[in-house]
Structure 1
């Protein structure tokens, strides 16, 4: 299996993270790249650099207003007297109406859902190349590759069309699915991250041409709280094209795999000929977020189950945070997939 990564993705180096009113070091560290690279290589992956497909595939899902914000906000922020080193919102609109603030502070609140997506000097470049990594993976499948792994960092599934959040800026899995769709393929997105892919759901919620399925810790008491509940099925033409499968905190391998069967049945019944797997490894029992309790061998079972769909597969990296087994868990998924 080929893997895709660009060194410019190292340049996003967030410092700020607030949890329960406490400022902490950001869990989404560049060191994740080294651990994931080792894990992919241990699975036999050969790395290639992404090609630059330009802004078109990104702007197919993200508004030009939002792209303009991401591209320029760090420079604008530095002009504020006494501003911090990172763009972090401190005010949010109760309702995102037609009015649009002119100030950098107001726009940060408009385009950043929470304090978990700080924007620094290298964020735009890293996010751009993270998206290009996913796009190149999609193009590989469109050209006939059976499977590929896109080491996307920063991740993407919490990014809406004009809103960053939860460590995410561009919705890499969504961009890849749209790229595959426009190449003539029927694409489904299967999100196995411990957190609900709320941005992915939001982008496709009223559409019937891309199926979105997410297995995640129950958001009643877990991020992202406001999305990811089982009754969210889509709207308009998209009704029935979104499936959420929330699980109790601490769910382990066997119960998870049973739920995965339900998710895979929905992908099959959509008639998908390609699946984009939003690959969060943070469902691991030892992950810092402690949402679910998947073991390292359990990830191999997840990979094997996905392989049994018998369709082309693009793995797009989402979460999975610094713990000793992070790279091993990636190896387990990919070898489980290839050995099925």
Structure 2
């Protein structure tokens, strides 16, 4: 399996995040990708390549232009606010809530930082935009290689992750929605309907929001119940899409403690739905924070279960783009992610 690797990912390396009332070291670290790369190389699963030259105009098809403009210049504005900020990450302090206006763009940088974010756990630093742009290029290249290059599958190995980033907001460690970029690239390449399947423990709220009113991209997600788990405010089973997208959004929230037998049954339900809408290609938001040892999640999957997951995904019989998302049991993340890819490749 071809892997498109983001060699700029380590430019994004947060110092701290806000977690339950205190600043703690970031869970999302560069070693996550390093472990996956080392495992890919150890098993010889396929070549690693840099992304192709990328037309960033594609980003404006999934993200709002004013948001992209903000993210591109946010670090410079943060440092201009106070020279001491050059030594610390940017985290928001204010957010608009119900009844407040979001259509007017504040001149104040701290106000705009809050406007375009939804949590205090996603630090922004000097290299965040470069890392995120290269991640989008990886997702786009993987999609191009699958369709234009005639590959059965490709893997975008990148960070920061992407599935929590919406059209005009970042959060959940995500700035650019890589899965949405891949899905849009497949649509632009002529695939009539693309399916995005999110297997991360946390609901892909950003991906859902981007495609919620579209029928050309079907979104399905297996995740921790938002009644108890981040991102809390989206991911319920009754969210089925709206307008032309009604019926093309499929959430399968599961309780904490879910083991692989129950999880796999939900995966079958999601894949049956993807087959029903006659998707022509598949994008998998590959989070492995469903692992039993993950520090911020609650499912009970074991390392061998990820091989079976890959086999089940292969049985869908679709050209498939894998995009790396979450997984915070850092020592095991490489084995678990590559098990999915190996299980897929062997079928």
TM-score category by the smaller chain?
A: over 0.9
Greater shift, 51-60 or 226-235, is seen at: 51-60
Partner of 1:166: 172
Q: Distance in 2 between matches of 1:44 and 1:97?
A: 47
Does the CA-based 8 Å contact 2:196-2:282 persist in structure 1? Answer: yes
Partner of 1:258: 265
What's the CA shift for 1:323? Answer: 3.1
Does the CA-based 8 Å contact 1:211-1:267 persist in structure 2? Answer: yes
Q: Does 1:309 align with 2:312?
A: no
Secondary structure class of the residue paired with 1:212: strand
Q: How does 1:190-229 map to 2 (within 5 A)?
A: 190-229=197-236
Partner of 2:107: 102
Does the CA-based 8 Å contact 2:306-2:340 persist in structure 1? Answer: yes
Q: Does 1:85 align with 2:92?
A: no
Partner of 1:61: 62
Total equivalences in the alignment? 340
Q: Distance in 2 between matches of 1:289 and 1:62?
A: 28
Q: Distance in 2 between matches of 1:305 and 1:126?
A: 31
Q: Distance in 2 between matches of 1:43 and 1:262?
A: 32
Partner of 2:186: 180
Partner of 1:31: 31
Q: Distance in 1 between matches of 2:91 and 2:48?
A: 34
What's the CA shift for 1:43? Answer: 5.6
What's the CA shift for 1:111? Answer: 0.5
Q: Distance in 1 between matches of 2:329 and 2:11?
A: 18
What's the CA shift for 1:322? Answer: 3.7
Q: Does 1:148 align with 2:151?
A: no
Q: Distance in 2 between matches of 1:332 and 1:106?
A: 43
Q: Distance in 2 between matches of 1:292 and 1:240?
A: 27
- Deviations, residues 59-118 of structure 1 (Å, cap 9, x unaligned): 111111111100101111112235462121100001453222111101100011111221
Does the CA-based 8 Å contact 2:12-2:131 persist in structure 1? Answer: yes
Secondary structure class of the residue paired with 1:296: coil
Greater shift, 256-265 or 327-336, is seen at: 327-336
Q: 4+ runs of 1 displaced by more than 4 Å?
A: none
Q: Distance in 2 between matches of 1:51 and 1:112?
A: 29
Q: Distance in 2 between matches of 1:290 and 1:108?
A: 27
Partner of 1:239: 246
Q: Distance in 2 between matches of 1:59 and 1:109?
A: 21
- Deviations, residues 125-159 of structure 1 (Å, cap 9, x unaligned): 00000110000000001111100111021100000
What's the CA shift for 1:324? Answer: 2.3
- Structure 2: unaligned runs, 5 residues or longer: none
Q: CA RMSD in A?
A: 1.2
Does the CA-based 8 Å contact 1:39-1:329 persist in structure 2? Answer: no
Q: Distance in 1 between matches of 2:118 and 2:204?
A: 14
Does the CA-based 8 Å contact 2:35-2:330 persist in structure 1? Answer: no
Does the CA-based 8 Å contact 1:43-1:334 persist in structure 2? Answer: no
TM-score of the superposition, structure 1-length normalised? 0.98
What's the CA shift for 1:265? Answer: 0.3
Q: Distance in 1 between matches of 2:121 and 2:136?
A: 19
Among residues 113, 136, 139, which one is paired with 1:134 in the alignment?
139
Does the CA-based 8 Å contact 2:289-2:329 persist in structure 1? Answer: no
Secondary structure class of the residue paired with 2:162: coil
What's the CA shift for 1:225? Answer: 0.4
Q: Distance in 1 between matches of 2:75 and 2:254?
A: 38
Does the CA-based 8 Å contact 1:197-1:214 persist in structure 2? Answer: yes
